[in-house]
Amino acid sequence: MKRPLTQAHIARLADTNIAIVENNQGVAASWYMADSSAASAQYGLIGALVSAGMDAMMNAGPAGRAQQTADDLATIALADKLNQSLRAQFDAMKVAQAPDGSGVRIAEVSTVQKILSPAAVNDAVEVNISYTLSEDATALNIVATAAYSDPAAKYVTPYTFKTVPKDELDGPLYRNSFVYESNRFALPTLGPEIKQAMVEAIQKKYIAKTGSLPVSANAARRSRYSAPLKESKDYEDMSQEIKEANDNTLSKSEAAGLLTREWLKADGAFLLKELESAHAYIAKYVLLDLNSTAVPSLEGADQVVEQMQDGRTVRLVGAGIGAGTYVSSPGGLKDFTTFGNAIQIADVHRKKISQLQETAKKQSAKR
């Protein structure tokens, strides 16, 4: 992952700008999307239709829950707010630099909207960042990638190969990844109160969707003011979710519904603290890494580079294709958490992205 600068490159960069690529998705909620198309392919068209129907039913609940989670988190942490917070931390790092320091230093900090200006920013370290909540909402994973390209200086791989791979022949002069794993919530213990809370949350979701609780097909037929088919489908979906809520198994989707409330408690105090900590870590280590000429080994060992009083550690990945990546992890981790193969983003962010894309099309047409 890491492409270190040489000492000559560091001297050449000196005072260098930071360009924060504006995040447009905010905190995304991850979920596992079921896909049985490969297994059913041998049965042709009928198999594909059956597979699609089964997948739709299996995915409806988790997808809807993830969408609700993303929408809820956006009430506290809009993408614009995240971008401002990250920029503030880089500004703070700029102020903290020693006035007579050598090496790469932060000159100016700016933001860039890639939908409108997709080209690389000249003479600047571009920082991309993403925020993803785990399937069960116990943890938040924040990943930043920093890269610097210089048309006047061609990248030369520091590794020795019998045959140099294509991806080592060109690309950015510098690159690395910075991962922040948030402090975690424990999974709730399933009991009558938890089950009731889940049922109420499900009912609240459907009331928000239609204005009232959905009714059964029979009840819908008896009322000339109802739309039978639509109401019947919502009722079936709600009934299935309530049935699952009352079983004795806490699914990851159900856990997410409960733990999202913890992230939002006290006006999102826990969420905002984790985001600020992540941004401070990223700003600190991007600058530190820009001044490191160390070439990671694909066969090395992880190295702890910082140990904090609360048990959090920052380690340098020492093996595999991720060698050179920095990872900040909380102390005392015992439980394993997973991030799904799909994400949902808040509707407010989806709308903004559409608006930006429309603006980009108009700008392109004018050219």
DSSP per-residue codes, 187-230: PPPP-HHHHHHHHHHHHHHHHHHHSS----HHHHHT-TTS-HHH
DSSP 8-state secondary structure symbol assigned to residue 185: P
pLDDT at position 33, please? 81
pLDDT at res. 159 = 85
Q: Tell me, what's the pLDDT at 220?
A: 55
Q: Per-residue pLDDT for the chain (367 aa), expressed as one digit of tens each?
A: 899 999 999 999 999 999 999 999 999 999 888 665 554 445 455 544 444 444 454 455 678 889 989 999 999 999 999 999 999 999 999 888 766 677 999 999 999 999 999 998 888 999 999 999 999 999 999 999 999 998 888 888 988 888 998 988 888 999 999 999 999 998 877 777 777 777 877 788 778 777 888 877 665 555 555 554 455 678 877 887 787 777 777 778 878 888 998 999 999 999 999 999 999 999 999 999 999 999 988 788 999 999 999 999 999 999 888 899 999 999 987 777 888 899 999 999 999 999 999 999 998 888 7
DSSP secondary structure, 68-131, as one string: HHHHHHHTT--HHHHHHHHHHHHHHHHHHS-TT--SSEEEEEEEE-TTT--SPPTTEEEEEEEE
Residue 42, pLDDT score: 54
**Chain mean position to CA 139:** 11
Model pTM above 0.85: no
Task: Provide the pLDDT for residue 367.
Answer: 73
pLDDT at 100 (0 to 100): 66
Dihedral in degrees, nearest 10, Cα atoms 84, 86, 89, 90: -100
Domain boundaries, the chain: 7-186+266-366, 192-245
φ, ψ (nearest 5 deg) of residue 267: 60, 35
Q: What is the pLDDT of residue 343?
A: 93
Handedness of CA 81, 87, 89, 95 (dihedral sign): negative
The burial of 187, by beta-carbon neighbours within 10 Å (0-12 exposed, 13-18 middle, 19 or more buried), is given as middle
